C-alpha cells in the first residue's frame, strides 16, 4: 500500500523536476519592441510577459516537445514547437500585425466623418447641433468645414466651386430629393430633417465611392439611428415652434416606434425681429414624422422613417425694375417622404444593405406685381412687367431603390456591388399673366450599377477601386465612371491619401425640359490629402483639382424662363484647404479652424465665357469654439466665419451680337459672421433624473456686420439691389425636455 | 487483492486530481496575493497574462479569466494614452465573456467588471460617450447589486464614480462618503464563496475612507 502511494508521489515529483529557462525578445514586423505580450507554453500555466524593451524570460518545469505561444490583441498569434530538456532556450519572437479596423489606414481623401464609432473622427454627431452658427441645421454645421462656400441667398451646399445641385444627399443609402424646404426668392431655406434623427454623417467634398452618383462635387451621407436607448417622450417649445413626440422601445428591446409632430409659426418672431420682407402670410409649418425599427435578427435591422410637411408662406419684396412696385410671392408646399431600409448579414461573410424611398412634393407658387397699396398691377403691354404675374404648380414624385451586396474577404478587404434606381416625375404647370398655360413634364428613369473593392495590403496601405455605370432614359445615354482612392499610413499614425474619380450628373432639373438632346455633365477629381487624427487633435490638409466638362448652357424659352440648351459649358476648380481641431491645448475648450482657398472659373448657364461663378469666393475661414463649464452645466459655443467678397455680374442678352454679355460686374464686400449660442443642461449628471432638459439661446451676427451675398439687377441694368439676409441678426430661444422611461429596472427583474 | 488494487486506483486518481487542483489553487493563490502590489506597480498586464494562461490551460475554470479581465480593465483605467484605452477595454471584454461562457451565466462579480469596462470606454471621450456608456456602466452596477446584495464591489464602484463626478452633477467627495461607508460595512461582512473567489477592494475602500480623515 505504502509502496503504491510512494510511487504516485514519485510520479508527481518527476513531473516537477527538470527545469528549462526560456528567454528572448518580442518585436513587431517593424522590429519595434513590444511590451506586455504574453508568452506561454501551450496548455500549461507557465509563461512570461515581455517588458518595456520587449525582453521576456521564464523558467518552466515542463518537459518534452511542446508549443511555445505568444499572443496579443491586434497581432497574429505566434506558435513554435520547442524541445524542453533542461537546456536554456533563446527564442526571439516577431509578431505580425493583424489588420484591424482600429489600426488600419482610413481611406479618407475628400471625406469628413462624424460618427459614434470608436475610431477617432474629425467630428462627432453632437458637434453638428452645438455649432453656434448652425442653428441646429445639418448643412449649417458643415459650412464651418473646409470646401464649403458661405452662400446665404439660396439653400444647399456649394462645394469646391460647384453649385448646390452638384451636392446630393443620401439617407441610409438612398437619394433624398427635396432635402431642403422649397426655395423662396433670395432666402436660404433649412434642411427638412432634424439632426437628432441621425447617428452618423459623412460629408465628402470629392473623390467619393462608386456607390454614389449624380453629384459632380459632393455627397452628404446620413445614417439614421437604430433603436433608441429607452422609451421617452419629448417636448420642445421655443418662440417660433412647439413640438411633441414619443419614442417607444419594446420590452425585449428588439423593436421600437415613434411619432412626432411640430408646429412652427413665425408670427411672434417677426414681431420681435424685423424682417426685410413684408410678410402677408407669416410662415406656418406643420410637420409630422413616424418611424419604426425592428431588429430582425442578431445582425439584421429593418428601419422605416416617414415624414410629412406642409408649408405656407407669402411676402412682398421691392420690385427690382420699378421703385413703385412690389413683388408678392406666395408658396404653399406639401411634402411627404418615406424611407424603408434593411441591412442583414446573410452568412458566409456576405452583407446586404438595401433600401427604398418614395417622396412627393407639391409646390404652388404665385407671384403678383403690386403697387404701393398692395393692389395687383397688370401691365399687359410690357412683357417684363406682365410676366411678373404668374402661377407655377410643380408636382414631383420621386422613387429611389438601392441594393448593395458586400462580401468580406481576407483581413478588412471586401468587395461591394449592387445597383440603384432613381425615378423622378415632375409635372409643372406654368400659367402666364394672360392665362396661357404651359404644362410640361420631366420624367427620368435612371439605372446605375456599381462595383467596388477595398484592398488592405497591410495596416498601412489600402486602396479602394470602384466603377459605376449609369443609364439615363431622359438623356438616352450610358456613362462609365471609374473611382480610385489610395491611403498610406506613416509610423506616427498620420496618413496620406490620394483620390481620383470621374463623376456624372444630369443637367439640373429646373432647367428642363429642353428641345435639344442633352447629355451627362462630367467632373474629374484629383485629390491629395494628409491628415493626422488623434483623440484630442486633428490636422488635415487637402489639395484638389477638379475639371468640369459638358456643363449645360441655358437660353430663354417662350415664357421668359431659362432652359438648358446644350452641353458646351466647361470649367475647373483648384484649391487648398486646412482643418485643425484641438481639444487639448486649452483646458475644457474645444475649437476648430478651417481655411479654404478656391480658384475656380466656369462657363455654364448664360455665362458669356469662363468666369469665376457668383457663388464662389477665393478665401473662406471659420473658427468654431466650444466650452463646457461644468459647475454651471452650461456649454458656450461661438463661431466666426470670414469669406472674401464674391463676384457678381449683370449678364444680359446683347441683341446686336446675339450673345450674352457682361454689362456690369464687381465683388461684394467681405463677409463676416460671429454667432454665439449657449446650451444649459440642468439635468446633466443626475443619475436618477426622470427628465432631461436643454435650454438653447443663440444669436447670429452678434457684431451686426452688413452681409451682402450678391446683387440683383433690373432688366435695364440701371438698378442694382444688394441681396442681404432677411434680418441683420437672428435670436433663437428654446427649451427641450425629454422624459425618459428607464427600462433598466425591468431588465433586472427579468433577469432574476 | 482486487479490493486493494481498486482502493489504490482510487487513491491514485484522487491524488492526481488533488495534485492537479492543488496546483490550480496554489497558482491562483500565488497570483491573487499579488493583485494589490502588482497593480500598484502598474504590472497589471503581467498578472493578467498569468491568469489568462491558467484559464487557457484549465479550460473549465471561470475565475482565471475573471481575474485576467479584472487586471486588464484596471490597466485600461490607468492607461494615460486615451487612444489605447479602447483596445485594452475590448481585451477585458473578451476575457470576461470567456469567464461568463464557462460560468454559463453572468453573476454579480462579472457585472462589476462589465461596469468597469463601460466606464473605461466612457473615459476616452466623456462628453460624447457619456450618453452611451454612462447608463451602461450604471446598469451593470445595479444588476450586480441585484444579483448579490452582500457584494461590496458594486457599491465600491458606485462610491468611486460618485467621488470622481463633479459636485454639479450630483457627485463629489461628500456625496460619495455614505457609499464608501456602505461598501466598508458590506466588505467587513463579506464571506467569499471559496478562498479563490473575488474578494478585492479592501485596500481601495481603506484608501478612500482615509481621504475623509
For residue B81, the distance in angstroms to the closest alpha carbon of chain A comes to 9
Q: Is B14 on the interface with A (CB under 8 A)?
A: no
* pLDDT tens by residue, A653-678: 998 998 999 999 999 999 999 999 99
Question: In percent, how much of chain B has pLDDT > 90?
Answer: 49
**What is the mean pLDDT of the segment spanning A276-287?**
95
Give the per-residue pLDDT at A741: 58
Which strands make up the sheet holding A218-224, listed edge to edge?
A111-114, A198-204, A218-224, A167-171, A174-175
Can you list the alpha helix ranges (DSSP code H) found in A174-276? 267-272
Average pLDDT over residues A158-184: 94
Q: What is the pLDDT of residue A16?
A: 47
CA distance A261 to A289: 7
Q: What is the pLDDT of residues A596-607, one digit of tens each?
A: 999 999 999 999
Secondary structure in 3-state letters for A437-451? EEEEEEEEEEEEEEE
- pTM of the prediction? 0.85
Task: Report the candidate in A284, A287, A281, A220 with the shortest Cα–Cα distance to residue A260.
Answer: A287
User: Exposed, middle or buried: residue B195 (CB in 10 Å: 0-12, 13-18, 19+)?
Assistant: exposed
Grid cell locating B70: 479584472
Mean pLDDT of A614-624: 96
Q: What is the value of ipTM here, to two decimals?
A: 0.79
Put simply, whether A120 touches B (Cβ < 8 Å) is yes
Place of cell 451627362: A520
Residue B190 φ/ψ, nearest 5 degrees: -75, 130
- B residues 120-139 closer than 8 Å to A (CB): 121, 124-125, 127-128, 131-132, 135, 138-139
Q: What is the pLDDT of residue A75?
A: 86
Task: Lowest mean pLDDT of A23-27, A537-541, B36-40, B79-83, name the range.
Answer: B36-40
Residue A226, number of CB atoms within 10 A of its CB: 12
pLDDT tens digits for range A696-713: 899 999 999 999 999 999
Kind of pairing, strands A461-472 and A167-171?
unpaired
User: Which residues of chain A make contact with B16, given a CB cutoff of 8 A?
Assistant: 8, 12
Higher per-residue pLDDT: A475 or A195: A475
Chain B, window 89-118: residues with a beta carbon less than 8 angstroms from a chain A beta carbon:
90-91, 94
**In this model, does residue B42 exceed pLDDT 80?**
no
> Cα–Cα distance between A40 and A589 in angstroms, integer?
46
Report pLDDT for A738. Answer: 82
Task: Tell me the pLDDT band of A530, cut-offs 50, 70 and 90.
Answer: very high
Q: Which of A5-14, A34-43, A416-425 has the lowest mean pLDDT?
A: A5-14
Provide the chain B residues 165-184 that lie in CB contact (below 8 A) with chain A. Answer: 165-171
| pLDDT value of position A579 | 95
pLDDT in tens, A390-449: 999 999 999 999 999 999 998 889 999 999 999 999 999 999 999 999 999 999 999 999
- Interface with A, mutate which of B111, B147, B168 (most A CBs under 10 A): B168
Confidence of residue A179 (pLDDT cuts 50, 70, 90): very high
pLDDT for the residue numbered B7: 65
Residue entry with cell 462608386: A210
Q: Any idea which of A93-107, A123-137, A330-344, B157-171 has the lowest mean pLDDT?
A: A123-137
What was the pLDDT predicted at A122? Answer: 65
**To the nearest whole number, what is the mean pLDDT of chain A?**
89
Cis peptide, bond prior to residue A513, ω within 30 of zero:
yes
pLDDT for B12 equals 59
| Dist. CA B161–CA B171, nearest whole Å | 8
The answer, for A631 touching chain B at a CB cutoff of 8 Å, is yes
In the predicted structure, residue A300 carries a pLDDT above the cut 70: yes
C-alpha atoms less than 13 angstroms from C-alpha of B81 in its C-beta half-sphere: 5
- Are A630 and B131 an interchain contact pair (Cβ–Cβ within 8 Å)? no
pLDDT confidence of residue B129 = 78
What is the Cα–Cα distance from A244 to A261, expressed in whole angstroms?
A: 6
Which of B12, B86, B165 is nearest residue A685 as measured by Cβ atoms?
Answer: B165
Instruction: For each of the domains in chain A, give its residue range(s) and CATH number, in order of start.
Output: 2-95 (2.60.40.10), 111-751 (2.40.170.20)
Q: Mean per-residue pLDDT for B90-106?
A: 93
For residue A685, pLDDT over 70 is answered with no
Nearest-angstrom CA–CA distance, A213 and A469: 9
Question: At A14, is the pLDDT very low, low, confident or very high (cuts 50, 70, 90)?
Answer: very low
What pLDDT does residue A567 have?
96
From A143, A99, A22, select the one nearest A462 (Cα to Cα).
Answer: A99
Q: What is the mean pLDDT of residues B168-195?
A: 89
In this structure, what DSSP letter does residue A660 have? E
- Which pLDDT value is given to residue B170? 74
**Separation between Cα atoms, residue B76 and residue B70, nearest integer Å:** 10
In this prediction, residue B181 carries a pLDDT of: 94
Amino acid at each position: 500500500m505504502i509502496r503504491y502511494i510512494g510511487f504516485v508521489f514519485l510520479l508527481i515529483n518527476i513531473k516537477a523536476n527538470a527545469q528549462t529557462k526560456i528567454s528572448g525578445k518580442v518585436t513587431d514586423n517593424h522590429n519595434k519592441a513590444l511590451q506586455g505580450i504574453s508568452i506561454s507554453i501551450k496548455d500549461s500555466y507557465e509563461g512570461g510577459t515581455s517588458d518595456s524593451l520587449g525582453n521576456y524570460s521564464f523558467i518552466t518545469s515542463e518537459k518534452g516537445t511542446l508549443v511555445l505561444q505568444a499572443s496579443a490583441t491586434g497581432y497574429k498569434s505566434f506558435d513554435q514547437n520547442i524541445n524542453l530538456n533542461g537546456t536554456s532556450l533563446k527564442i526571439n519572437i516577431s509578431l505580425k500585425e493583424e489588420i484591424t479596423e482600429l489600426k488600419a489606414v482610413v481611406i479618407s481623401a475628400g471625406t469628413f466623418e462624424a460618427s459614434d464609432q470608436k475610431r477617432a473622427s474629425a467630428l462627432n454627431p453632437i458637434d453638428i447641433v452645438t455649432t453656434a452658427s448652425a442653428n441646429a441645421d445639418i448643412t449649417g454645421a458643415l459650412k464651418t468645414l473646409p470646401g464649403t462656400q458661405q452662400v446665404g441667398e439660396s439653400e444647399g451646399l456649394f462645394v469646391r466651386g460647384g453649385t448646390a445641385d452638384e451636392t446630393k444627399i443620401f439617407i441610409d443609402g438612398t437619394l433624398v430629393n427635396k432635402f431642403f424646404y422649397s426655395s423662396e426668392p433670395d432666402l436660404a431655406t433649412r434642411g427638412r430633417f432634424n439632426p437628432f434623427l441621425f447617428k452618423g454623417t459623412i460629408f465628402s467634398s470629392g473623390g467619393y465611392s462608386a456607390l454614389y452618383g449624380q453629384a459632380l462635387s459632393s455627397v452628404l451621407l446620413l445614417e439614421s439611428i437604430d433603436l433608441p436607448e429607452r422609451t421617452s417622450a419629448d417636448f420642445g417649445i421655443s418662440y417660433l415652434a412647439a413640438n411633441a413626440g414619443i419614442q417607444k422601445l419594446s420590452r425585449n428591446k428588439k423593436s421600437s416606434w415613434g411619432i412626432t409632430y411640430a408646429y412652427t409659426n413665425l408670427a411672434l418672431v417677426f414681431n420681435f425681429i424685423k424682417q426685410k420682407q413684408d410678410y402677408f402670410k407669416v410662415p406656418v409649418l406643420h410637420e409630422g414624422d413616424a418611424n419604426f425599427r425592428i431588429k430582425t435578427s442578431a445582425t439584421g435591422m429593418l428601419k422605416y422613417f416617414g415624414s410629412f410637411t406642409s408649408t405656407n408662406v407669402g411676402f412682398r419684396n421691392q420690385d427690382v425694375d420699378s421703385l413703385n412696385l412690389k413683388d408678392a410671392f406666395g408658396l404653399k408646399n406639401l411634402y411627404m417622404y418615406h424611407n424603408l431600409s434593411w441591412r442583414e448579414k446573410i452568412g458566409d461573410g456576405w452583407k446586404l444593405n438595401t433600401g427604398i424611398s418614395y417622396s412627393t412634393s407639391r409646390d404652388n407658387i404665385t407671384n403678383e406685381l403690386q403697387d404701393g397699396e398692395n393692389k395687383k398691377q397688370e401691365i399687359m403691354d410690357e412683357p417684363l412687367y406682365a410676366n411678373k404675374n404668374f402661377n407655377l404648380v410643380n408636382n414631383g414624385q420621386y422613387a429611389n431603390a438601392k441594393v448593395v451586396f458586400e462580401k468580406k474577404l481576407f483581413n478588412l478587404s471586401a468587395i461591394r456591388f449592387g445597383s440603384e434606381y432613381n425615378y423622378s416625375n415632375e409635372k409643372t404647370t406654368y400659367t402666364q399673366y394672360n392665362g396661357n398655360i404651359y404644362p410640361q413634364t420631366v420624367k427620368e428613369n435612371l439605372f446605375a450599377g456599381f462595383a467596388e473593392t477595398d484592398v488592405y495590403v497591410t495596416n498601412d496601405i489600402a486602396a479602394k477601386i470602384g466603377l459605376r455605370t449609369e443609364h439615363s432614359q431622359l438623356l438616352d445615354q450610358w456613362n462609365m465612371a471609374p473611382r480610385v482612392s489610395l491611403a498610406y499610413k506613416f509610423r506616427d499614425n498620420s496618413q496620406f491619401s490620394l483620390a481620383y474619380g470621374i463623376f456624372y450628373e444630369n443637367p439640373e432639373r429646373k432647367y428642363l425640359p429642353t428641345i435639344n438632346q442633352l447629355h451627362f455633365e462630367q467632373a474629374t477629381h484629383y485629390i491629395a490629402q494628409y491628415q493626422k487624427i488623434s483623440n484630442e487633435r486633428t490636422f488635415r490638409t487637402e489639395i484638389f483639382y477638379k475639371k468640369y466638362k459638358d456643363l449645360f448652357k441655358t437660353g430663354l424659352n417662350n415664357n421668359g424662363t431659362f432652359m438648358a440648351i446644350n452641353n458646351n459649358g466647361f470649367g475647373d476648380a483648384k484649391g487648398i484647404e486646412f482643418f485643425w481641431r484641438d481639444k487639448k491645448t486649452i483646458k475644457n475648450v474645444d475649437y476648430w479652424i478651417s481655411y479654404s482657398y478656391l480658384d475656380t472659373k466656369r462657363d455654364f448657364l448664360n455665362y458669356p465665357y469662363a468666369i469665376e461663378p457668383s457663388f464662389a469666393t477665393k478665401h473662406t475661414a471659420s473658427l468654431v469654439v466650444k466650452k463646457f463649464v461644468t459647475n454651471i452645466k452650461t456649454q458656450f459655443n461661438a463661431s466666426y466665419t470670414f469669406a472674401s467678397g464674391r463676384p457678381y455680374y449683370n449678364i444680359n442678352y446683347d441683341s446686336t451680337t446675339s450673345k450674352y454679355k457682361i454689362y456690369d460686374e464687381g465683388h461684394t464686400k467681405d463677409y463676416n459672421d460671429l454667432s454665439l449660442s449657449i446650451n444649459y443642461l440642468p439635468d446633466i449628471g443626475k443619475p436618477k433624473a426622470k427628465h432631461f432638459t436643454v435650454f438653447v439661446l443663440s444669436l447670429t451676427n452678434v457684431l451686426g456686420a452688413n452681409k451682402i451675398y450678391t446683387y440683383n439687377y433690373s432688366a435695364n441694368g440701371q438698378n442694382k439691389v444688394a441681396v442681404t439676409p432677411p434680418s441683420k441678426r437672428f435670436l433663437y430661444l428654446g427649451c427641450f425636455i425629454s422624459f425618459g422611461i428607464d427600462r433598466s429596472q425591468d431588465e433586472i427583474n427579468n433577469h432574476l | 487483492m482486487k479490493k486493494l488494487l481498486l482502493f489504490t486506483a482510487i487513491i491514485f486518481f484522487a491524488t492526481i486530481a488533488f495534485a492537479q487542483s492543488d496546483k490550480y489553487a496554489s497558482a491562483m493563490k500565488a497570483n491573487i496575493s499579488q493583485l494589490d502590489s502588482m497593480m500598484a506597480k502598474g504590472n497589471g498586464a503581467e498578472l493578467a497574462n498569468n491568469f489568462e494562461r491558467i484559464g487557457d490551460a484549465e479550460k473549465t475554470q471561470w475565475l482565471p479569466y475573471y481575474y485576467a479581465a479584472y487586471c486588464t480593465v484596471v490597466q485600461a483605467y490607468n492607461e494615460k494614452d486615451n487612444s489605447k484605452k479602447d483596445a485594452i477595454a475590448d481585451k477585458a471584454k473578451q476575457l470576461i465573456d470567456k469567464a461568463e461562457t464557462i460560468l454559463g451565466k453572468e453573476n454579480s462579480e462579472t457585472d462589476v467588471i462589465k461596469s468597469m469596462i463601460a466606464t473605461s470606454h466612457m473615459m476616452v471621450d466623456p462628453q460624447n460617450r457619456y450618453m452611451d456608456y454612462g447608463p451602461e456602466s450604471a446598469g451593470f452596477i445595479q444588476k450586480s447589486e441585484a444579483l448579490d446584495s452582500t457584494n461590496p464591489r458594486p457599491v465600491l464602484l458606485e462610491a468611486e464614480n460618485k467621488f470622481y463626478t463633479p459636485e454639479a452633477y450630483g457627485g463629489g467627495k461628500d456625496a460619495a462618503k455614505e457609499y464608501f461607508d456602505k461598501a466598508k460595512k458590506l466588505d467587513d461582512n463579506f464571506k467569499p464563496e471559496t478562498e479563490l473567489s473575488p474578494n478585492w477592494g479592501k485596500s481601495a475602500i481603506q484608501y478612500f475612507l482615509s481621504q475623509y480623515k
